[in-house]
Amino acid sequence: MLAEIITIGDEILIGQIVDTNSAWMAEKLNEAGIRIKQISSVSDNREHILAALAEAATRADIILITGGLGPTKDDITKNTLAEYFNVSMVINEAALENVTKIFKKYNRPLLEVNRKQAEVPANCEVILNKNGTAPGMWFNSNGKIYVSMPGVPFEMKYMVEEEVIPKLKEVLKLPVIIHKTILTAGEGESFLAEKIADIEDSLPANIKLAYLPKLGQVRLRLSADGEDEALLKTEVEKYAAQIIERVNYAVVAEEDIPIEKAILNYMAEKGLTLSVAESCTGGYISHLLTQHAGSSAVFLGGVVSYANELKESVLGVNNETLWQHGAVSEQTVKEMVAGALLNFKSDYAIAVTGIAGPDGGTEDKPVGTVWIAVANASKTVIKKFTFGNKRLQNIERSAIGAFFMLNTLLKDGGL
């Protein structure tokens, strides 16, 4: 089964909001055995919407639409769908009751514009909105399934998970799709491809390998489709094990999670703690760690020692070290990581100092020069990186580099 996702709204096309709905829906549909053929965004324009619907019907069996179901004049999706199917608009009593209950709950008057939200094309099956006033709509037409849902993410997500996917599974015979993701870091996409070329060449026709690069990382995703879920899982795990054995030095996680989450999971399992001393990353490493629930079991905290005075007063970096070698140096990052271990009493520590840019570089230390140290009580590993001149990319690369170095130290030694 092939599906297409259409998001409607001028706010998406002018960059005012990011279309996160499509990515989320694509993931959920794929898990259910439905492949996405295309994702597109169109304006709040009748002609554009009609053309998008007609084109989607030539490519896909299932067309999912979000947006344009609000009570204001710029929300034209329902009327356009009625035109597309050549039907009239009618009041749906269940939808009207839902809208009435919501306004009564909040002791607000039910305006005519709100009442009209219960109007739907005559040929649709209403999907009640338990989190808002705009109903979803399910259409069967000429062998195609169309589903229109609100653009508000938490309203749409409920409908997809609780109503749409269960109904699709009920009315369609869907194949099984299995994914297995291996997270690697510290090795480029082309080098990984060369090392596992023979394994990739040996994959059967129903198993594909995708390389998903990101700054400092590459996710290797095996995808398989078929009818026998147990057999597919066995096959995918067999090839995944071969890949992991071949590039084990670069493997951070055997599941689709961020690198910092993989580290947090490992350290929590081992009962280990972590602290940080950040300079050029400005707290970004701490942010990545603390965005995950349960991070407090591992992450004690740290310091953003942007100024040299804080490197001295909080971390104990020697003034002489800073004068002789500068803040961006092997000597300084070594003392920073030692100060973090000593002062924050953690089992492991990360320290980062560098020139994020776009200015501040010198001939000896150009923009993108970053020193990273990771350490425990018995071992300190220090590495110099030379990134580019893009500030945000340098900050992100520094964080990923630090996590990969920490992961390597954890695998190599522990305590």
Per residue in 318-373, pLDDT (tens digit) is 999 999 999 999 999 999 999 999 999 999 999 999 999 999 999 999 999 999 99
DSSP string, 9-75: -HHHHTTSS--HHHHHHHHHHHHTT-EEEEEEEE-S-HHHHHHHHHHHHHH-SEEEEES--SSSTT-
Q: Which regions of the chain carry the CATH code 3.40.980.10?
A: 2-171
Residue 338 CB neighbour total at 10 angstroms: 19
Letter for the amino acid at 251? V
Confidence band of 413 (pLDDT split at 50, 70, 90): low
Of the two residues 341 and 226, the one the predictor is more confident about is 341
pLDDT number for residue 415: 43
pLDDT number for residue 1: 82
| Percent of the chain surpassing pLDDT 70 | 99
Cα 67 to Cα 89: distance, rounded to the nearest angstrom? 18
CATH 3.40.50.720 fits 2-171, yes or no: no
Pairing of strands 299-304, 89-91: unpaired
| CATH hierarchy code of domain 259-412 | 3.90.950.20
Per residue in 148-195, pLDDT (tens digit) is 999 999 999 999 999 999 999 999 988 888 999 999 999 999 999 999
Cis check: omega of the bond before 358, within 30 degrees of 0? yes
Residue 390 reports pLDDT greater than 90: yes
Whole-prediction pTM: 0.77
Per residue in 251-288, pLDDT (tens digit) is 999 999 999 999 999 999 999 999 999 999 999 999 99
| Percent of the chain surpassing pLDDT 90 | 89
Confidence band of 62 (pLDDT split at 50, 70, 90): very high
pLDDT number for residue 320: 97
Backbone φ, ψ for residue 108 (5° rounding): -120, 145
| CATH hierarchy code of domain 176-253 | 3.30.70.2860
Per residue in 67-119, pLDDT (tens digit) is 999 888 888 999 999 999 999 999 999 999 998 998 888 888 888 888 888 99
Of the two residues 210 and 413, the one the predictor is more confident about is 210
Q: Which regions of the chain carry the CATH code 3.90.950.20?
A: 259-412
